[in-house]
Copies of this chain bind each other. A is one copy, B any other.
Amino acid sequence: MKRVLLFLFLISCSSVFADDGSRLWLKYDLIKDEVYRKSLVKSYNQIVIQFESDKAKLAAKEIQIAFKGLTGKELQINLASKPELGGFNSIKKGILLTIGTDKSEKESEGFRIQSQKGSSLIIGKSEQGLIYGAFAFIRLIQMQGTLDFTINENPKIQVRMLNHWDNANGTVERGYAGSSIWKWFELPYRIDPRYIDYARANASIGINAASINNVNASSRFLTAEYLEKIKAVADVLRPYGIKVFISVNFRSPRTLGGLETSDPLDPGVRKWWKDKTDEIHQYIPDFGGYLVKANSEGEPGPQDYGRTHADGANMLADAMGDHEGIVIWRAFVYDADPDGDRFREAYDQFKPLDGTFDKKVIVQVKNGPIDFMPREPFHPMFGSFPETPLAMEFQITQEYLGHSTHLNYLAPMFKECLDSDTYAEGKGSTVAKVIDGSVHGYPITVMAGVANTGSDANWTGHPFGQANWYAFGRLAWDHTLSSEKIANEWVKQTLTNDSEASQKIVGLMMNSLPAYINYTYPLGLHHMMGEGHHYGPQPWLEKSGRPDWTSVYYHRAAKDGIGFDRNGGISNSLKLYAPEVIDSWGNPDKMDLNYLFWFHHLSWDYKLSTGKTVWDELMSRYYSGPEEVKEFQKTWDSLKSEIDIETYENVKGRLAIQYKESLWWRDACYLYFKQYSGMPLPNSLKEPERTLQDVIELEQIYHLR
């Protein structure tokens, strides 16, 4: 009976109240605070565009839509009869959109806003800047703060980009939110309205580029048949200032062109790429460029022909000719040397090439040296490549971070990397300042995020996955923003404007990554997830296609202790960093314990700076993780009245799974490591009811055909 009533309740809801999350942070629901809403209604009567322009109209229209939703009032859009910047004071009760004339402002995508209640001036430093200005203005209205403010913003990174690992057949590699948002079989004739939603969402947070296919790339995307489809996507994204990139398969001259080689120094191959690049530009005149995964995890590349990464990248740059596009070459390469250390392999392969790349090339480096682990030390390439622009590659999709069932706010992870000091040009040479060009003066700057978007109604599977997309965009625009500020913006636009509730949610978000790390990879452990599917724990994984795909390669747990000694023991990878960094991570007694086992192998009874032994500290962290998730559940339960019912139930359900799986990780790691430590759980902690065999079998389920 109770169940049926619940269904009836849900049914009634679903047609009336429930929010499926599809509107992201651009909801524009009526503002509940009547005083604030009325003050908006009273303050503004019109939007004034100072000149005829598609983008100005688009910006005006966005403000109109937002204002209508938030206040119920539809503002008229008017064209200023006498175009003059000084019109600011003469426009009453209006939002004036114009373009700045100051040529000294080289950051063409920036904007300024001078706002007083009833009179707001949005000055784009370019037409595109006007769109960003409009969305910034909308955000500030949504945040329900004062209407009196002046801001002046410029993006810190030139290319702020999503990397879609979307396959031609509609699946998404490491996607946990349904299938691809790109409907290749429907294109070019059917334009899914979600492409427009996608463009708006990205523009609203400053993202201006998207590579539309998996880096494990199909040549299909370079055929005329598919270029026509990609052109249709590019045409939708263009008005919002988003450029399209294509991931290419280095073997394309052979598979598509029928050539006998793909050697980058072969004249026929070079001509093929030149012609193909020209052809692409016939479809997409403002084509962003190529993204290339080469000689990595089985992908073809220039090394197949005895050439270097630079040979490959420069050949593509040359093919780009006079076109605007760039070549983004990924540094995610590693070999399967069981005696080596994957940590340093990209560095070793690329370091000798510094200074040999074409000026249209940028090398894209993952935030850490292994592979998007929940916590990695910053990649040692950052700060070591003064002559080669390096791009940042973050992963927004939660491959190793709980897929779409764990609530995991990633801004603190992005920030931890960005704020790390490389000391390349002395103190303060943070990773952020390396990639924004201020340390080495890079001519091209790129920040890429591997997208977590999919065809699910709410785009990201987990409703809080949206916050990671949002945070990535905001940080690519301005890496100095704090994680809390970004979380607060997202919550207020997306979930609730109630200040107590939003504070609670921001708190929960800020605690989410630390909790996740506690029950999965405390103290700098890494790469112990289920093989292939990367779901759940498998620290016992000893054999795989390559030694560096196992778990034991990384944790090195044995009778004598745990951790990967990269400080001279197994490898000397720590030496890749600046002396100051070596100092800070070289001594296990003085370092940030969060990075401990990245660099040190310590005995189980080694006494840490916390006063506990390695074993006790490890276990107390493993056991605290699930308790923290329980707290998240309590916090969320307390918010029921503040959150849309569908979103509330959605998150509540996922938190229950997260709790279950946090126990799985905890038990698996405890039961497995205990074999080596031979030590008991610290007193206060309760023995799991299951056995190591039980948790092993649980993981095996995901390998069953």
**Are B10 and A196 interface neighbours, CB within 8 A?**
yes
A255 at the interface (CB under 8 A from B): yes
User: Given A7-B239, A14-B193, A65-B11, is A185 in contact with B701 using a C-beta cutoff of 8 Å?
Assistant: no
For A22, the chain B residues whose CB sits under 8 A away are 457
Across the interface, A455 reaches (CB within 8 A) one of B169, B178, B698, namely B178
A171 at the interface (CB under 8 A from B): yes
For A702, the chain B residues whose CB sits under 8 A away are 220
For A601, the chain B residues whose CB sits under 8 A away are none
**Are A190 and B65 interface neighbours, CB within 8 A?**
no
**Are B189 and A65 interface neighbours, CB within 8 A?**
no
**Are B171 and A176 interface neighbours, CB within 8 A?**
no
Across the interface, A57 reaches (CB within 8 A) one of B8, B189, B191, namely B8
A520 at the interface (CB under 8 A from B): no
For A660, the chain B residues whose CB sits under 8 A away are 189
**Are A14 and B57 interface neighbours, CB within 8 A?**
no
Across the interface, A456 reaches (CB within 8 A) one of B1, B220, B455, B535, namely B455
A404 at the interface (CB under 8 A from B): yes
**Are A197 and B235 interface neighbours, CB within 8 A?**
no
Q: Mark A69-85, 1 if CB is under 8 A from B, else 0.
A: 10000000000000000
Tell me how far the C-beta of A471 lies from the nearest C-beta in chain B, rounded to whole angstroms.
Answer: 23
How far does the alpha carbon of A542 sit from the alpha carbon of B223 in the complex, in Å? Answer: 25
Q: Mark A670-705, 1 if CB is under 8 A from B, else 0.
A: 000000000000000000000000000010011011
**Are A654 and B4 interface neighbours, CB within 8 A?**
no
Across the interface, A58 reaches (CB within 8 A) one of B7, B456, B535, namely B7
**Are A11 and B455 interface neighbours, CB within 8 A?**
no
Tell me how far the C-beta of A21 lies from the nearest C-beta in chain B, rounded to whole angstroms.
Answer: 11
A657 at the interface (CB under 8 A from B): yes
For A654, the chain B residues whose CB sits under 8 A away are 186, 189-190
**Are B8 and A61 interface neighbours, CB within 8 A?**
yes
Minimal Cβ-Cβ distance residue in B for A697: B223
How far does the alpha carbon of A328 sit from the alpha carbon of B516 in the complex, in Å? Answer: 44
Across the interface, A219 reaches (CB within 8 A) one of B18, B235, B704, namely B704
A646 at the interface (CB under 8 A from B): yes
Tell me how far the C-beta of A97 lies from the nearest C-beta in chain B, rounded to whole angstroms.
Answer: 15
Across the interface, A4 reaches (CB within 8 A) one of B18, B239, B656, namely B239
Tell me how far the C-beta of A293 lies from the nearest C-beta in chain B, rounded to whole angstroms.
Answer: 13
A218 at the interface (CB under 8 A from B): yes
How far does the alpha carbon of A318 sit from the alpha carbon of B65 in the complex, in Å? Answer: 64
Tell me how far the C-beta of A499 lies from the nearest C-beta in chain B, rounded to whole angstroms.
Answer: 27
For A11, the chain B residues whose CB sits under 8 A away are 61, 65, 196, 200
A573 at the interface (CB under 8 A from B): no
Within 8 A of B (CB), among A451-499: 454-457
A226 at the interface (CB under 8 A from B): yes
**Are A197 and B14 interface neighbours, CB within 8 A?**
yes
For A235, the chain B residues whose CB sits under 8 A away are 3
**Are B249 and A705 interface neighbours, CB within 8 A?**
yes
How far does the alpha carbon of A249 sit from the alpha carbon of B704 in the complex, in Å? Answer: 11
Minimal Cβ-Cβ distance residue in B for A6: B191
**Are A650 and B12 interface neighbours, CB within 8 A?**
no
For A275, the chain B residues whose CB sits under 8 A away are none
Within 8 A of B (CB), among A8-30: 8, 10-12, 14-15, 18, 22, 28
**Are B226 and A701 interface neighbours, CB within 8 A?**
yes
Across the interface, A193 reaches (CB within 8 A) one of B185, B191, B236, B646, namely B646
How far does the alpha carbon of A292 sit from the alpha carbon of B1 in the complex, in Å? Answer: 34
**Are A219 and B705 interface neighbours, CB within 8 A?**
yes
Minimal Cβ-Cβ distance residue in B for A12: B65
Minimal Cβ-Cβ distance residue in B for A232: B653
**Are B701 and A18 interface neighbours, CB within 8 A?**
no
A662 at the interface (CB under 8 A from B): no
How far does the alpha carbon of A190 sit from the alpha carbon of B200 in the complex, in Å? Answer: 29
User: Given A58-B4, A197-B14, is A653 in contact with B189 using a C-beta cutoff of 8 Å?
Assistant: yes
A256 at the interface (CB under 8 A from B): yes
Tell me how far the C-beta of A17 lies from the nearest C-beta in chain B, rounded to whole angstroms.
Answer: 12
How far does the alpha carbon of A649 sit from the alpha carbon of B171 in the complex, in Å? Answer: 25
**Are A657 and B186 interface neighbours, CB within 8 A?**
yes
Interface centre among A8, A65, A649, A660 (most CB of B within 10 A): A8
Q: Mark A42-82, 1 if CB is under 8 A from B, else 0.
A: 00000000000010011001000100010000000000000
Across the interface, A10 reaches (CB within 8 A) one of B10, B193, B653, namely B193
Tell me how far the C-beta of A188 lies from the nearest C-beta in chain B, rounded to whole angstroms.
Answer: 9
**Are A704 and B223 interface neighbours, CB within 8 A?**
yes
How far does the alpha carbon of A226 sit from the alpha carbon of B701 in the complex, in Å? Answer: 9
User: 14 A–B contact pairs at CB < 8 A?
Assistant: A4-B57, A8-B57, A11-B65, A14-B193, A15-B69, A171-B171, A185-B535, A185-B657, A189-B657, A190-B654, A220-B704, A249-B705, A255-B704, A455-B455
Could you list 6 further interchain pairs (A-B, Cβ under 8 angstroms) beyond the known A7-B239, A169-B533, A179-B454? A8-B57, A8-B58, A12-B61, A18-B193, A193-B646, A223-B704
